[in-house]
Structure 1
Amino acid sequence: MSLAPRRTLLILVPVVLAAVLLAILLLPGGPTTSRAAAGDTAEPTKPVTISGPFGRIALGGPWTVAEDARNTGLRAGWRGGNFSGKDVTIPYVPNAGRITGAGGVISHRGSIAWYRTKIQVDADGQYAIAFGSVNHHATVWVDGKQVADHTGEFLPFDARMSLKAGEHTLVVRADWRDPEKMKADGWHRLWFNFGGINREVTIRKLGPSEVQAPYVTTTLGGGAAKVRISAEVVNRSVERDVRLTGVLRRDGQDIQVEFPSVRLKPKETRRVQTEVTVQDPALWAPGSPNLYDLTLAVPNESAYQTRIGLRQIEKRGTNIFLNGERITLRGASIHEDAPGYGTGLRPEQMDSLVGDLKEIGANATRAQHPLSPALLERLDAAGILLWQGVGPTDSPGSWKSDTPAKAAVARQRVQTTLDEQQTHPSIVVWNLVNEIARNGGTDNGQVPYIRAMSKKLKTEDPGRLTALDVWATPVKYTAKDPVGGARVPERMGSVYRDIDAIGVTSYQGWYSDPGKSMAFLKDSIRRFTGEIKRIYAGKILVLTEFGAEANGENATNRPGGYGYQADLLKTTIDAYSADPAMSGTIVWNLRDFGVAPTFIGGSIRRTYKGTIRLVRGLNQKGLFTYGGRPKPSVAPVRAALQRAADDLQK
């Protein structure tokens, strides 16, 4: 077996940190402004994500990738890099080209892939290789020595090691076999099982300290913004006093950020906090997404850069207020999925998703899994609010994180996402559960998890709302049951105590009473929302999931057709938006996306007994096709969302 040609990536050791900090803290146009803005094309060694530790270099490629469906690579010694394959750039999802048909069934079951690249460093020292996401289980070796082991996609992790100056071989084994076992272990997915390294990889040299996990919370008053800033400082040296400092910058205005000095033992990590006042701030909001550059540094040692928005989110009664004005959330949900790339989106595909949201006039979107920081930066720059799922995502009414060990992993998933994403102004809501049934499960640990995480988020991140998505699709209305058998409680239990907002999943006109007239749909929504408002009294209510599948294989005005989808979406948005107690509507979904090949429409096919034509392995509820072509529903949805926005201003 001949080995693939060697590829080398040069890692430049950061310049003397005193000079770097001078550039960061004193000179205009420092490293933050020299990086690619959201939507720009990144340079080959420049990370796609702006936010992060200073001195990161992207390991985009080339990499060599080899599939290992028979799991022979470990026995063959591939950890040392002695395998051949094809050259790719990262992110790269090996099975992204096969999601439907017989090939999609095999692809979804999962496989193993090995990745290899060469890195070269020009100085001895400690280094960290950061992975944005690997599905599902990742093992990392450098020069044949294991340096990291991690489970779970959409969760960042570091591989840390000492390196001598010179060339080194980096190898990653990604194992995404058996999605059913993943589900049983608390790693359920509501999308296709795309495997491999699906977010960017970077490397950086470590110094005597680190700055990580910055948090920002804004409170407005008297024409000023009080900005509470905190970050974790890690001491990698001897016991000593460490002082964090920084600067908040926008349009030539520099606001110094000073923290108290702290005494840290070797390897100790501590969160430090301060507050600054910004007079006459440029606030962040849809339509005016003003951003500030924030750099935090331990002088001469380490730094962290990010972009933030100054904005205040509040719950007032049952309404959402942004910067003192009521807002409603209007848009469509998104999945990170593109044909041929799967979850390994490139910048141009992220830009395309944001462009589609703009085309429908959205001011908000929703995601069931933590979005990539690079995509979040694009939502920040576009002024699009995000209802962000955090922690385990399970099927409706289900909860598989049902042992102490799995519950601990679930809690850590929330912490990891909070640490990675807290500074993004676009995130308005942390949603803890997808489609909880009634008052949740007490015997499977769901209620204790929600109670603990909702309290934690409200304490550590008070500038956002906490939410639960509820499984509320009616089944059949009766005189005694105005919610039609939806899995909602008769009255709220303790699980909702620290929850601000309820995301309602209700597929009226699709899974419930499909094919009925739009007049019937309006009346059923009126009856349904009246009861939902009673049950969830005092909570913000947003319709976060509704819609219908559509393709050209069905008669346009029947369920499954383009005309029926357009009428259902327009009618639903208008009906819910007419109720002043509702705080928004978010269509499911912006684009068609890949799902398990066992999915072919769900209960709608039982209703129509095979007369409806859908595609196995592809959820076609999107306003745009999988390839990004707008469906006929785009124009009426855009108009309905605009009517909702206009009504709010009356």
Structure 2
Amino acid sequence: MGLSWKKALSVAAMLLCGMSARAQRPAGAGEVDATVHAADAPFTENTTVLEGADRRPQTSLDGEWRSIVDPYFAGLYSFHHEIKKDGWFKDQRWGGVGDNRLFEYDFAKSPTLHVPGDWNTQRDSLFFYEGALWYQRDVEWTPVAGKRVFLHVGSANYKSWFWVNGEKVCQHEGGFTTFDCEVTAQLKAGANSIVAAVNNQRLPDGVPTLETDWWNYGGLTRSVALVEVPESYIAGYDLHVDRATRTKIEGWVQVVGAKAGERVSVSLPELKAGATATVGADGRAAVSFAPRGLELWAPGAPKLYKVDLMAGKDAIHEEMGFKTIETRGTEILLNGKPIFLRGICIHAEAPLRTGRVNSEKDVDTLLGWAQELGANYVRLAHYPHDEKMTRAADRMGLLVWSEIPTYWAIAFDNPAVLAKAKQQLHEEIARDRNKASIGLWSIANETPSTPARTQFLTALAAEVRLLDRERLVTAALLVRGVGEHEKVVDDPLGAALDVVGMNEYIGWYEGKPETADTMHWTIKYDKPVIVSEFGGEGKAGLHGAATDRWTEEYEAAIYQHQLPMLAKIPQVRGLSPWILMDFRAPYRQLPGMQDYFNRKGLISDQGQKKAAFGVLQKAYLGGYGKAD
């Protein structure tokens, strides 16, 4: 349902409410390498990442779910804030007058919300809502002998709890990463009730924390499904081409429930190549083979292969590309050759209808605009996007900067927050490490330069390298001004990065567009630099002089002065200006201009291309940059 923002603004913003659940140690959460173990995750319980879940047989749970808004979280907690034994997760139904049992809820008589979807844009009264909301759906199920079943959740923002037939199956913290919880024992033949509670309340110890410059869309924002696997199943895999020769495919396959010595096979039918290996005591089998005629994936030539992974009764039929990405001095090398990344930042804001991206149409529109712009790279900000985005980037040939929301002033001195950030890294990388499009894992955006922050993020950089040595580590850093005409990039975090990202807003937050003409840059690192953000706001259809702020002409002038300035910085190997499309943001309130939208998009939320789009498109299609 569309949302009239004027009507929504008449609704009082709901106060943050409800207390988060007491920290609990999860039980049995770590079957695969990508899962955070019990001691590391104070809230997340009984979840894993079932890699390749979107390539497995699924029963979709998308559609209409019954919903109850619960600002005091009375459905889970008593007035003494104790977890109820007969909470709303029991999904009891009131029989009407004559049924004298005490009920204060009934999902069957409650309104619906569509899943996937944020609640904010589906119902005007929920536009500003931050708190708990319950979902319920009936499911008919026929168990199959020898099969295990997982509840697959694309994302639930921010904390979520799940029950099947009144029994709790898992809980999860993190609003943008995919997770799975096993429900084999809880599902029964015939009718079943699945209940979820989702709370998008912002938290001081959350990742992200209290302040973000994007809308806090709540709910089951991506698809939900039931996924079946054999009793012994492939839980994870990592296949990549080696950097030394770029002809050999190597990696591993992790099998849950396999005995040491059981066989695993990986094959590329198109090349009539593959390998078999045996599972070790840790459930992992190392694979390596050198197919003849292997074509590498690259923007402009996004070659993908069908890849079959087999282990016992389990099989996953993947679609994968193979590439190498590395650095040499200040160069970024793709498949051994220098590349300049002509890119754009993208938020997961749905074009035209607004709200959170959750459909193939949303994805095709956004990435289609990026290609029309002439981009070979996209920065998916500021959190992991829907898997549909990375799958589409694989097919379309767009390199991806993928980021977790360690954003602004995270509680860097809190070990529990570091554990949450690591959990999100694990979940992000487990889902997407086999996507050819992923080139850079970003660990932060615009964080304050303090010793605690640098230690925290250095630990995250090390964690990335433990999980995936085949991609580059980056972060979007702030720059330092020295007087009016010099900028310095010397953030100590740069020492932990492979590629230094930097955000700057000359012409918008400081100076005028022409200030860029006389700016001198000093980069303290002999590493490649990506200008991860620059730009300014302009309202689509508002015209005037290039000196008039908020006009399309002013926004275009920023680009006209920025592009020559950035071309003079020797270390710059890529750009991703801010941003492809206007997006909702609570900071942006100027009536008639912003109306709760950040207007830095090259395209409006309704698809109108602004003058700045043409400026950047001309530069990109004209070969802006130093390589490729």
Alignment TM-score > 0.5, same fold: yes
Is 1:403 aligned with 2:414?
A: yes
Report the 3-state secondary structure (helix = DSSP H, G, I; strand = E; otherwise coil) of the residue aligned with 1:587: coil
Task: Provide the C-alpha distance between the structure 2 equivalents of 1:556 and 1:97, rounded to a whole number of angstroms.
Answer: 39
Partner residue of 1:431?
442
Tell me: CA distance 1:136–1:206, structure 2 relative to 1, closer, same or farther (3 Å).
Answer: same
The offset of 1:110, in angstroms, is 4.4
The offset of 1:247, in angstroms, is 1.6
The offset of 1:157, in angstroms, is 1.7
Q: Confirm or deny: 8 A CA contact 1:388 1:427 kept in the other structure.
A: yes
Q: How does 1:150-229 map to 2 (within 5 A)?
A: 150-161=172-183, 162=185, 163-177=187-201, 179=202, 181=204, 183=206, 186=209, 189-219=212-242, 225-229=247-251
Partner residue of 1:243?
263
Partner residue of 1:548?
536
Partner residue of 2:518?
523
The offset of 1:58, in angstroms, is 2.2
Partner residue of 1:279?
292
Tell me: CA distance 1:185–1:624, structure 2 relative to 1, closer, same or farther (3 Å).
Answer: closer
Task: Provide the C-alpha distance between the structure 1 equivalents of 2:560 and 2:203, rounded to a whole number of angstroms.
Answer: 37
| CA RMSD, Structure 1 to Structure 2 (Å) | 2.8
- Of 127, 130, 138 in structure 2, the residue corresponding to residue 117 of structure 1 is 138
Tell me the amino acid that sits aligned with residue 572 of structure 2: M
The offset of 1:260, in angstroms, is 2.4
Tell me: CA distance 1:448–1:473, structure 2 relative to 1, closer, same or farther (3 Å).
Answer: closer
Task: Provide the C-alpha distance between the structure 1 equivalents of 2:470 and 2:220, rounded to a whole number of angstroms.
Answer: 32
The offset of 1:160, in angstroms, is 1.5
Tell me the amino acid that sits aligned with residue 144 of structure 2: A
Q: Once the two structures are superposed, what CA deviation does each residue of 1:561-581 show, in whole Å capped at 9, x if it has no partner?
A: 101111211331233134443
Partner residue of 1:324?
336
The offset of 1:219, in angstroms, is 2.4
The offset of 1:138, in angstroms, is 1.0
The offset of 1:159, in angstroms, is 2.3
Tell me: CA distance 1:448–1:580, structure 2 relative to 1, closer, same or farther (3 Å).
Answer: closer
- Of 336, 357, 364 in structure 1, the residue corresponding to residue 377 of structure 2 is 364
Partner residue of 2:30?
none
Q: How does 1:49-68 map to 2 (within 5 A)?
A: 52=54, 54-68=56-70
Tell me: CA distance 1:305–1:116, structure 2 relative to 1, closer, same or farther (3 Å).
Answer: same
Task: Provide the C-alpha distance between the structure 2 equivalents of 1:190 and 1:353, rounded to a whole number of angstroms.
Answer: 20
Tell me the amino acid that sits aligned with residue 501 of structure 2: G
Partner residue of 1:581?
571
Task: Provide the C-alpha distance between the structure 1 equivalents of 2:235 and 2:148, rounded to a whole number of angstroms.
Answer: 17
Task: Provide the C-alpha distance between the structure 2 equivalents of 1:555 and 1:185, rounded to a whole number of angstroms.
Answer: 38
Structure 2 gaps of 5+ residues are 1-50, 79-85, 92-105
Partner residue of 1:90?
115
Task: Provide the C-alpha distance between the structure 2 equivalents of 1:307 and 1:139, rounded to a whole number of angstroms.
Answer: 32
TM-score, length-scaled by structure 2: 0.81
Tell me: CA distance 1:131–1:560, structure 2 relative to 1, closer, same or farther (3 Å).
Answer: same
Partner residue of 1:146?
168
Q: Confirm or deny: 8 A CA contact 1:64 1:87 kept in the other structure.
A: yes
Report the 3-state secondary structure (helix = DSSP H, G, I; strand = E; otherwise coil) of the residue aligned with 2:117: coil
Q: Once the two structures are superposed, what CA deviation does each residue of 1:599-642 show, in whole Å capped at 9, x if it has no partner?
A: 448xxxxxxxxxx9631421110001112221122111100122
Task: Provide the C-alpha distance between the structure 2 equivalents of 1:70 and 1:477, rounded to a whole number of angstroms.
Answer: 51
Higher mean C-alpha displacement, 303-312 vs 146-155 = 303-312
Tell me the amino acid that sits aligned with residue 434 of structure 1: N
Partner residue of 1:308?
320
The offset of 1:406, in angstroms, is 1.8
Partner residue of 1:642?
621
Tell me: CA distance 1:475–1:545, structure 2 relative to 1, closer, same or farther (3 Å).
Answer: farther
Q: Confirm or deny: 8 A CA contact 1:333 1:366 kept in the other structure.
A: yes
Is 1:376 aligned with 2:387?
A: no
- Of 580, 584, 592 in structure 2, the residue corresponding to residue 590 of structure 1 is 580
Is 1:80 aligned with 2:90?
A: yes
Is 1:566 aligned with 2:556?
A: yes
Report the 3-state secondary structure (helix = DSSP H, G, I; strand = E; otherwise coil) of the residue aligned with 2:502: strand
Partner residue of 2:303?
290
Q: Confirm or deny: 8 A CA contact 1:123 1:164 kept in the other structure.
A: no
Partner residue of 2:155?
133
Partner residue of 2:16?
none
Task: Provide the C-alpha distance between the structure 1 equivalents of 2:110 and 2:428, rounded to a whole number of angstroms.
Answer: 33
Task: Provide the C-alpha distance between the structure 1 equivalents of 2:132 and 2:627, rounded to a whole number of angstroms.
Answer: 50
The offset of 1:257, in angstroms, is 2.6
The offset of 1:111, in angstroms, is 4.7
The offset of 1:475, in angstroms, is 8.2
Q: 4+ runs of 1 displaced by more than 6 Å? A: none
Partner residue of 1:335?
347
Tell me the amino acid that sits aligned with residue 230 of structure 2: G
* % identity of equivalent residues: 24
TM-score, length-scaled by structure 1: 0.78
Is 1:260 aligned with 2:272?
A: no
Is 1:465 aligned with 2:472?
A: yes
Tell me the amino acid that sits aligned with residue 277 of structure 2: F
Report the 3-state secondary structure (helix = DSSP H, G, I; strand = E; otherwise coil) of the residue aligned with 1:279: coil
Q: Confirm or deny: 8 A CA contact 1:94 1:113 kept in the other structure.
A: no
Report the 3-state secondary structure (helix = DSSP H, G, I; strand = E; otherwise coil) of the residue aligned with 1:633: helix
Tell me: CA distance 1:354–1:241, structure 2 relative to 1, closer, same or farther (3 Å).
Answer: same
Structure 1 gaps of 5+ residues are 1-48, 264-268, 602-611
Tell me: CA distance 1:289–1:620, structure 2 relative to 1, closer, same or farther (3 Å).
Answer: same
Q: Confirm or deny: 8 A CA contact 2:358 2:386 kept in the other structure.
A: no
Q: Confirm or deny: 8 A CA contact 2:208 2:410 kept in the other structure.
A: no
Tell me: CA distance 1:618–1:473, structure 2 relative to 1, closer, same or farther (3 Å).
Answer: farther
Q: Confirm or deny: 8 A CA contact 1:225 1:277 kept in the other structure.
A: yes
Task: Provide the C-alpha distance between the structure 2 equivalents of 1:473 and 1:441, rounded to a whole number of angstroms.
Answer: 14
Tell me: CA distance 1:613–1:183, structure 2 relative to 1, closer, same or farther (3 Å).
Answer: farther
Is 1:510 aligned with 2:508?
A: yes
Task: Provide the C-alpha distance between the structure 1 equivalents of 2:223 and 2:482, rounded to a whole number of angstroms.
Answer: 43
The offset of 1:67, in angstroms, is 3.0
Task: Provide the C-alpha distance between the structure 2 equivalents of 1:386 and 1:540, rounded to a whole number of angstroms.
Answer: 16
Task: Provide the C-alpha distance between the structure 1 equivalents of 2:284 and 2:137, rounded to a whole number of angstroms.
Answer: 36
